[in-house]
Amino acid sequence: MSKQSSFGFTNTSLGTHDVGQIALGLTSNYSLQEDAADVVKMNNKTAPIDKEELISFRSRTGKKIATELNIQYPSPVSNTVEYSVRVDDVLSTTDSTDANYRIDEPIVVSIAFRHPKSGNITSTHVATVLQRAISALMKADGTWRMDDLMRSAERPVVD
């Protein structure tokens, strides 16, 4: 009998709103700023020097996954992997009536993944969970919930 892996959820219908990929051009539009054992940091060459964009990739191993789930049948695999991407951007605000007015504000987004180093876990499984996390940040009409979340209104709105 062959082994099969599956998730417990059944709400898997695709929505009608897609999140599109932006063609960043990581190998052509970014210069390598840091290349260490567990981090690669890249600086966007298309952004001006006073409004940089940094994209960082990190990866490291560990021994335990912190989760709020009650795992009934834990895997014997004790080694874990954690990897992430972080985007640091600068939002500049100017005033057309005042040439001296400018405010720069950082916006930082991190997406982190943690799981056992198990052959049962594939990139498709991880992408499925990522898609569900992104979907949790969206309303049924395809708009983002950030307006609610930045006001500490965590409860989902009625679909």
In sign, the C-alpha dihedral spanning 44, 48, 145, 151 is positive
Average pLDDT value for the chain:
90
Buried b (16+ CB within 10 A) or exposed e, 8-36: eeeeeeeeeeeeeeeeeeeeeebeeeeee
**Phi–psi pair at 11, nearest 5 degrees:** -85, 85
What is the reported pLDDT for 127? Answer: 95
Identify the pLDDT of residue 159. 56
Q: How far apart are CA 121 and CA 115, in angstroms?
A: 8
Predicted TM-score of the model (pTM):
0.86
* Predicted confidence band of residue 26 (pLDDT cuts 50, 70, 90): very high
Cα-atom radius of gyration of the chain, to the nearest Å? 20
State whether CATH 2.40.160.220 applies to domain 21-64+75-118: yes
Stretch (H or E) spanning 149? helix 146-149
User: Residue 66 and residue 118: Cα distance in Å, rounded?
Assistant: 16
d(C-alpha 111, C-alpha 83), whole Å? 9
d(CA 51, CA 93): 11
Tell me the domain boundaries of the chain.
Answer: 21-64+75-118, 122-159
Whether the CB-CB separation of 44 and 23 falls below 8 Å is answered with no
pLDDT reading at 38 higher than 60: yes
Polymer length of the chain: 159
Does 1 score more than 70 pLDDT?
no
What pLDDT band is residue 16 in, cutting at 50, 70 and 90?
Answer: confident
pLDDT for 141? 86
